[in-house]
Amino acid sequence: MPDTAPRSDDAPHRVLVVDDDEANRVTLERILSREGLDVVHAASGREGLEQLRESPVDLVLTDLKMPGMSGIDLLKACKHLEPDLEVVVMTAYGTVETAVEAMKEGAYDFVSKPLRRMELVNTVRKALEKRSLSVENRHLRQRLAAIGEGQMIGRSSVMRTLLDEVEQVAPSDATVLLTGQSGTGKSRLAHLLHRMSRRRDGRFVTVNCAAIPETLLESELFGYEKGAFTGATGRKEGRFDLANAGTLFLDEVTEMKPALQVRLLRVLQDGAYERVGGTETLTADVRVIAASNRDIEEEVAKGTFREDLFYRLNVIPMPVPSLSERPDDVPILAQHFLVRYSDKNRKDFKGITPEAMGAMQAYGWPGNVRELENAIERAVVLCRNERIGIEDLPPAVRQVRATPSQQLCFDVGTPLKTVERRMIEETLRLTHGDKALAASLMGITARTIYRREAEWKDEGD
């Protein structure tokens, strides 16, 4: 069966009606077509199966009792072809036991003959809503899963500006200096620069200057010769050797001591270095990307970081914004981490409640993206409902109260239609108009949002 592609929001749902009674098929086609559905039909289970193999549908509405292939057999075949496909079975009075058997085999629901129009329409609508949500969630998961470790997630204006700069800078060999708070994604950005560069086939080698003791950092960077110091029983290549024809990422470079800064400066100036204990001058064909969470100019003013080294590293300065500077990115980041940790913990969530999302957008995230990731992982582990709620978030996030425009307060007796509209509009505001993401958060389909907006327009609101 062809893969189900994301449906155009204006395209009608396609329903396959399978019934050996022609009069029933004609009646069902008339009823469902009036509901704006695209209806195709088949006179037998085998004919219906052939139609499924040729082109996809959103719903199968089949009679249970048919000569040849029964409705149960067709149901099993449908689920084999596409597990997400919804099937509604029609059963005559007195065969409810068979309908229950169909439900156990994966049917969405059953309707009894003689058919009642409203019951049929409501059942079909609910089945299609469930189908749309399944398809949207699958494609959302596929899009988010396609985001690799070397990708930056964000659609805010500051992130678009940053990513445009990355695209322009990456193909060059210019040294890049990434600055920003801890947890903003400097390492991820360095990976992205490497992957978009002409050195992508070379190694990406990371050195965390804060994590390696000062006495070992020099030999880690430049390597050493046998006998260079006690315990040096053989030659060891350094990170500059390993990164040859690739990229060397110096994380927390401001933690490097002044004596070692001199050696690094020489490499950046001349591309030359010697291993510890060696006399042979080696050449480094390496692109250097450095990062720091400190104010480097302040470190230069204090005398803890060499000014000439700063200028060598700062050829392309690239400040990385904190999460508080790009709250528009919180929803898509939260959804990304929800997919990741739901899969990791073998849980299935329908989304995040608007209240929880509002709190997350209002929170300052001093730990930046890393703190948000930890919060979502915690919520996934602790949540007992279908959606992540505000009660599942860390206390610091729960305590944040949304701004008045983010609060949804209703008086007793407020019409349900008004409540629904405000919920949809507020969720769209939080997702900046992204209907697919808003629908995922609310546990409905994007088609429902489009339909409601059309109704509001017809009402003149």
Would 390 be classed as within a structural domain?
Answer: yes
113 and 243 together in one domain? no
286 and 360 together in one domain? no
Rounded CA-CA distance 169/122 in Å is 55
Which of 294 and 140 is assigned the larger pLDDT? 294
Instruction: Show the domain range for 251.
Output: 157-321
310 and 332 together in one domain? no
**Residue 321's closest CA among 376, 358, 369, 363?**
369
Rounded CA-CA distance 332/15 in Å is 33
Would 8 be classed as within a structural domain?
Answer: no
Q: How confident is the model at residue 6 (pLDDT cuts 50, 70, 90)?
A: very low
317 and 329 together in one domain? no
Q: What is the DSSP string of 72-102?
A: HHHHHHHHHH-TT-EEEEEEETT-HHHHHHH
pLDDT mean over 146-163: 72
Would 342 be classed as within a structural domain?
Answer: yes
Rounded CA-CA distance 340/300 in Å is 41
Would 168 be classed as within a structural domain?
Answer: yes
Query: Last residue of some domain: 321, 340, 371?
Result: 321
Instruction: Supply the CATH number for residue 31's domain.
Output: 3.40.50.2300
| Percentage of the chain lying above the pLDDT 90 cut | 37
pLDDT mean over 108-122: 87
Query: Last residue of some domain: 268, 291, 321?
Result: 321
pLDDT of 304: 93
Residue 2 has pLDDT above 60, yes or no: no
Would 331 be classed as within a structural domain?
Answer: yes
| CA pseudo-torsion sign 357, 185, 137, 430 | positive
3-state secondary structure of 452: helix
Residue 9 has pLDDT above 60, yes or no: no
180 and 316 together in one domain? yes
Residue 441 has pLDDT above 50, yes or no: yes
And the tokens for 6?
């994301």
Which amino acid, 46?
A: R
Residue 288 backbone dihedrals phi, psi, to 5 degrees:
-105, 130
Q: How confident is the model at residue 140 (pLDDT cuts 50, 70, 90)?
A: low
218 and 231 together in one domain? yes
Residue 107 has pLDDT above 50, yes or no: yes
92 and 185 together in one domain? no
pLDDT of 96: 64
Would 6 be classed as within a structural domain?
Answer: no
Residue 3 has pLDDT above 70, yes or no: no
Tens digit of pLDDT for each residue in 331-385?
889 988 998 898 888 888 878 888 888 889 888 899 999 999 999 999 999 999 8
Tens digit of pLDDT for each residue in 217-270?
989 999 888 877 777 778 888 899 999 999 999 999 999 999 899 999 999 998
Residue 104 has pLDDT above 90, yes or no: no
Q: How confident is the model at residue 194 (pLDDT cuts 50, 70, 90)?
A: very high
pLDDT of 126: 87
Would 315 be classed as within a structural domain?
Answer: yes
Rounded CA-CA distance 33/382 in Å is 45
User: Among 98-112, 133-147, 392-406, which stretch is predicted with the lowest mean pLDDT?
Assistant: 133-147
Tens digit of pLDDT for each residue in 401-431?
544 444 556 666 667 777 788 888 877 876 7
Tens digit of pLDDT for each residue in 290-308?
999 999 999 999 999 999 9
Tens digit of pLDDT for each residue in 69-98?
888 889 888 888 888 889 999 887 656 677
Q: Work out how many domains the chain is built from and give that number.
A: 3
pLDDT of 353: 86
302 and 166 together in one domain? yes
366 and 392 together in one domain? yes
User: Among 42-46, 172-176, 222-226, 451-455, which stretch is predicted with the lowest mean pLDDT?
Assistant: 451-455
Q: What is the DSSP string of 315-351?
A: TEEEEPPPGGG-GGGHHHHHHHHHHHHHHHTT----E
- Torsion, Cα of 95, 100, 106, 107 (10° steps): 50
**Residue 268's closest CA among 307, 313, 237?**
313
Rounded CA-CA distance 399/57 in Å is 46
pLDDT of 139: 59
3-state secondary structure of 38: strand
191 and 290 together in one domain? yes
pLDDT mean over 296-323: 94
Would 361 be classed as within a structural domain?
Answer: yes
pLDDT of 60: 94
What is the residue-averaged pLDDT of the chain? Answer: 84
Q: How many helices, marked H, and strands, marked E, lie in the chain? A: 19, 14
pLDDT of 320: 94
Which of 160 and 314 is assigned the larger pLDDT? 314
Residue 147 has pLDDT above 60, yes or no: no
Q: How confident is the model at residue 149 (pLDDT cuts 50, 70, 90)?
A: very low
Instruction: Supply the CATH number for residue 247's domain.
Output: 3.40.50.300
23 and 133 together in one domain? yes
Instruction: Supply the CATH number for residue 343's domain.
Output: 1.10.8.60
pLDDT mean over 263-288: 90
Query: Last residue of some domain: 145, 167, 193?
Result: 145
pLDDT of 412: 61
**Residue 86's closest CA among 387, 348, 445, 434?**
445
Rounded CA-CA distance 110/116 in Å is 12
215 and 298 together in one domain? yes
Tens digit of pLDDT for each residue in 215-229?
889 899 998 888 777
| CA pseudo-torsion sign 405, 410, 415, 420 | positive
